[in-house]
């Protein structure tokens, strides 16, 4: 029997501090993938001189835990990552130094020292905002609001709407209605431009849809929600909405809202504004 290889040298030291970071993905950087961000963050912590704790084995890597990243092409104000450190640092200083080493559009919003419990388990739901622009396929100008309103009414009236998504293991069909706990639709006129009015596609902003979606397996993503609207009401858009995740965390209250997942950890806070 071949002898099992054992890495030389002492095992990696246990982390002495864990920090949880909230970061945003803005502007053109919303088109970066989860792997793109991982590479950018690992480079940033090296440039910032962060005393990272490393894994053991033949190929040690920095101990970074990523949690429930938003899909590529979606902006977000509420992405989370946890760093394990080999020496204690000030969260505020770390947030500033890592933020400065990241490209503009990947922005560290805050850092807190991790308390007990799992961060991933607190991310029970997401609060999404979909900004629509005027122009449904085959519809006259200005009719997008009516088409969206009718589609959302049909969606909320349904008990179950199945959609199919192509995954790595093949097509998967699941219910896109049950996890949607709340959907609020706001209309805009030409003189009342809402959030993100300056970007995201041709045509003036005509409507904002905000939803609270419980995280399930698989997670219902904004494109699944749009597929459900197409399935239930035949909604066809000439351009996709600008999608932003405003929050993710534990569910709270009635009607359901998404609470701050770092509230229980917030003994030491670092904030960083560009």
pLDDT in tens, 52-73: 999 877 778 899 999 999 999 9
Q: Is the pLDDT reported for residue 168 higher than 90? A: no
Rounded to an integer, the average pLDDT of 2-28 is 81
Q: With contact defined as beta carbons under 8 Å apart, do 122 and 249 qualify?
A: yes
- Average pLDDT rounded to a whole number, residues 231-238: 89
What percent of the chain stands above pLDDT 90?
Answer: 68
Mean pLDDT of the chain: 86
**How confident is residue 192, by pLDDT bands cut at 50, 70 and 90?**
very low
Return the number of other C-beta atoms located less than 10 Å from residue 13's C-beta: 11
Residue 125 token pair: 């739901």
Q: Could you report how far apart the first and last alpha carbons of the chain are, in Å?
A: 58
pLDDT 10s digits, 88-128: 999 999 999 999 999 999 999 999 999 999 999 999 999 99
167 pLDDT band, cuts 50/70/90, is confident
Residue 226 has pLDDT above 90, yes or no: yes
Q: What is the pTM of this model?
A: 0.85
What pLDDT, on the 0 to 100 scale, is given for residue 134?
Answer: 64
Fold of 125-249: Alpha-Beta Plaits (3.30.70)
C-alpha separations of 226 from 15, 129, 182, 188, 202 in Å: 43, 13, 15, 20, 19
pLDDT at 216 > cutoff 50? yes
Better-predicted residue by pLDDT, 138 or 10? 10
Q: Cα–Cα–Cα angle for 12, 15, 20, nearest 5°? A: 135
The C-alpha atoms of residue 142 and residue 189 are separated, in whole angstroms, by 10
CA distance 129 to 131: 6
Task: Say whether domain 17-121+262-271 belongs to CATH 3.90.1170.50.
Answer: no
Task: For CATH 3.30.70.580, list the domain ranges present in the chain.
Answer: 17-121+262-271
Average pLDDT over residues 156-169: 93
pLDDT at residue 137, rounded to an integer: 43
What residues have CB less than 8 Å from 132, skipping those under 6 apart? 144, 148, 205, 206, 207, 208, 209, 237, 241
Neighbouring C-beta atoms of residue 239, cutoff 10 Å? 15
The answer on pLDDT for 194 being more than 70 is no
pLDDT at residue 245 tops 90: yes
How far is Cα 95 from Cα 89, in angstroms, rounded to an integer? Answer: 10
Q: How far apart are CA 267 and CA 66, in angstroms?
A: 22
């Amino acid at each position: 029997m071949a002898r099992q290889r054992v890495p030389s040298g002492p095992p990696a030291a246990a982390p002495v501090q864990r920090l949880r970071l909230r970061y945003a993905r803005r502007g053109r950087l919303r088109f970066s993938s989860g792997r793109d961000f991982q590479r950018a963050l690992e480079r940033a912590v090296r440039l910032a001189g962060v005393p990272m704790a490393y894994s053991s084995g033949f190929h040690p890597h920095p101990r970074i835990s990523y949690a429930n990243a938003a899909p590529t092409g979606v902006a977000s104000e509420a992405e989370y990552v946890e760093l394990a450190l080999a020496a204690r640092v000030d969260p505020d200083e770390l947030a500033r130094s890592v933020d400065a080493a990241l490209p503009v559009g990947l922005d560290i919003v805050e850092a807190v020292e991790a308390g007990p419990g799992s961060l991933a388990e607190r991310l029970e739901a997401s609060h999404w905002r979909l900004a629509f622009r005027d122009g449904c396929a085959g519809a006259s100008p200005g009719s997008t609001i009516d088409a969206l309103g009718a589609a959302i009414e049909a969606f909320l009236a349904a008990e179950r709407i199945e959609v199919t998504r192509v995954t790595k293991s093949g097509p998967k069909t699941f219910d896109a209605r049950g996890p949607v706990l709340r959907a609020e639709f706001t209309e805009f006129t030409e003189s009342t431009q809402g959030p993100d009015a300056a970007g995201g596609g041709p045509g003036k902003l005509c409507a904002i849809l905000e939803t609270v979606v419980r995280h399930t397996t698989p997670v219902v993503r904004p494109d699944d929600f749009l597929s459900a609207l197409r399935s239930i009401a035949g909604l066809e858009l000439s351009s996709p909405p600008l999608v932003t995740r405003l929050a993710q965390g534990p569910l709270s209250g009635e009607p359901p809202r998404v609470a701050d997942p770092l509230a229980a950890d917030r003994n030491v806070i670092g904030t960083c504004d560009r």
